[in-house]
Amino acid sequence: MKKIITYGTFDLLHYGHVNLLERAKKLGDYLIVALSTDEFNWNMKQKKCYFTYEERKRLLEAIRYVDLVIPENNWEQKISDVKEFKIDTFVMGNDWTGKFDFLKDYCEVVYLPRTPEISTTQIKKDLSE
Ligand code: C2G
C-alpha cells in the first residue's frame, strides 16, 4: 500500500483544496492529512481560522480522497510523521516548492500546481466587500 501525506490548514475548505487532495490521493492508495491545529495556526502561522480544528477535521474526513486526519502541531514533526506512518510520498502545493526538500532523504517529495484563482484569503476578502 502506497502511503501519501500532506499538510495544511484547510480553512474555509474550497475546491482548490479538494483538487490538491484528489491529485495527492492519485499518487498512491492511502492519504493522510496532517491538519494544522488552532494553536499552531495562531502561534506559528499567524493564521486566524474561521473553523476550529475539530470542524476542519470533520470537513476533511468527509472527503472521499482522505483516509486519515492527524494533527499538525509544529513545523518539526514531518520527519517523524514520515517514519511513524511509513510514508512513501510527501505532497504539497507548489507555493511550497523547495521548502521541504529535506524530506527527500526519507520519502518522495512532490509539489503540485495550486488551483490559481481561489484561496481562503480571497474568499474572506470578497465576502468583506
Ligand atoms: N492549495 C492549492 N490551491 C489553492 C489553495 C491551496 O493547491 N487554491 C493547496 C496548498 O498548496 C496546500 C494545501 O492546499 O498544499 C492546503 O493549503 P493551506 O491550508 O493554505 O496550507 P498552508 O497554510 O500552506 O499549510 O506544514 C505545511 C503547512 O501546514 C501548509
pLDDT exceeds 90 at position 11: yes
Q: What pLDDT sits at residue 22?
A: 98
Q: What pLDDT sits at residue 87?
A: 98
* CA distances in angstroms from 85 to 18, 81, 89, 94, listed in the order given: 22, 6, 11, 23
- Report the pocket of ligand 1 as residue ranges, CB < 6 Å: 7-10, 16-17, 20, 36, 72, 92-93, 95, 114-115, 118-119
* CA distances in angstroms from 78 to 56, 90, 108, 125, 127, listed in the order given: 20, 9, 13, 31, 34
Closest residue (by CA) to atom 28 of ligand 1? 8
Using one digit for the tens of pLDDT, what is the confidence trace for 51-69?
999 999 999 999 999 999 9
pLDDT exceeds 90 at position 47: no
Average pLDDT over residues 37-41: 96
Task: For residue 108, give the DSSP letter.
Answer: E
Q: Is 124 a catalytic residue?
A: no
Using one digit for the tens of pLDDT, what is the confidence trace for 56-106?
999 999 999 999 999 999 999 999 999 999 999 999 999 999 999 999 999
* Residue 89 identity (one-letter amino acid): T
* Grid cell in block for residue 29: 492508495
The residue with greater pLDDT, 45 or 96, is: 96
Q: What pLDDT sits at residue 45?
A: 86
Average of per-residue pLDDT values in the chain: 97
What percent of the chain is predicted at pLDDT more than 90?
96
Task: For residue 121, give the DSSP letter.
Answer: H
Query: Which ligand 1 atom is nearest residue 95's CA?
Result: 11
Closest residue (by CA) to atom 10 of ligand 1? 93
